[in-house]
Amino acid sequence: MEKQILDLRVKSVEQLGFRYSLIKLTSDESLPTIYPGQFVEVRVDHSSHTFLRRPISVNFVDVENRELWLLVAQVGHGTRQLSKLVPNEFLNCLLPLGNHFTIPTDINAKVLLIGGGVGVAPLLYYGKVLHDRKYDVTFLLGAKSKDDLVEKELFEQYGEVCITTEDGSLGEKGYVTNHSILQKRNFSYLATCGPKPMMLSVARYAHAHKILCEVSLENKMACGLGACLCCVEQTKDGNVCVCKEGPVLNINKLLWQL
C-alpha cells in the first residue's frame, strides 16, 4: 500500500471532555485509500520538546468531503501542542500506515467492537464501514466516568452502544468485560482497542468462548515504517513490528497468557 506525506489543512479542532481533541483535516485532492484500524504519523511543529512524529489512529474518514479525523488524547507535550492547532493551519501527515481490521466473511456475523479510553478512536470508522455493509454491529465503550466518554452520539449512528464507567456515572459500573451484554448475547467476532489490561481481558473472554478476536495494539512507535524497532511485539511467528505487521493482530498469534 503506497504511503504518502501530505500537508492536510485543519478544518476544525474540537475539545471533547477534559483531555481529548477531535482534529478534522481536509484536502483539496482525494485522500488515499484508508482502511479501519490504520494510523498516521503526524509531525508536531512549533514544539522544542517534540522531535519525533506522533502515531495517531484514524478516527474517521469522510471520503466524499475529503476529511480525515484524528481523536487525540492530550497526554504529553506533543499531543497538547496538536490540540492548539487552529483552522487553516496545516498538519504534515505520513499515511496510511499499518494493517487494518478484518471484514468478517459471514454477513450474518454478530460483531462486537470494544473500546476503552482513546482506544475507541479506530472503532468509529470501522463501525461505519461495517454498518454500510449491513453487518449487525454492537459497540461496548468503557471510560473512567461519563466525562471521559467521547463520540457516543456518533457511535449510535452505526449500531447499538453499551457503556461501562468505572465510577458508575453512565451505563453499567465497572470494566467493559463486566458488562452484562457479554452474558446475555452471543457474538461471533470481536475487535478491541484500548489499554493493554483491558484488551487482555477481552482476549481471554474471546478465547474462552471460541470467538474470533482482533486487537489493535498500542505499542510505542516512532518511525511508523519498521525501521526503529521500538514497537516490536513477540508473537508465535517471531518478533514483528507493530507499525508494519500490526497494529491489528489476531489474538491467536500473540504470546499472551489466555
Annotated binding site: 54-57, 78-79, 223, 228, 231, 243
Show binding-site residues for FAD.
54-57, 78-79
What distance in Å separates the CA atoms of residue 203 and residue 173, rounded to the nearest whole number?
21
What distance in Å separates the CA atoms of residue 191 and residue 137, rounded to the nearest whole number?
11
Q: Which of 155, 142, 135, 97 is nearest to 116 (CA)?
A: 142
Q: E-strand spans in 98-228? A: 110-116, 136-143, 160-165, 172-173, 189-193, 212-216
Cell numbers 499499518 correspond to what residue? 98
Cell (9 digits) for 186:
452471543
Show binding-site residues for [2Fe-2S] cluster.
223, 228, 231, 243
Q: Which of 223, 26, 196 is nearest to 117 (CA)?
A: 196
Letter string b/e over residues 196-222, b meaning 16 or more CB atoms within 10 A of that residue's CB: eebbbbbbbbbeeeebbbbbbbbeebb
Contact 97, 243 (CB under 8 A): yes
Query: How far from 11 is each of 14, 136, 221, CA to CA, in Å?
Result: 10, 32, 26
Question: How many CB atoms within 10 Å of residue 59?
Answer: 23
Pairing of strands 238-241, 248-250: unpaired
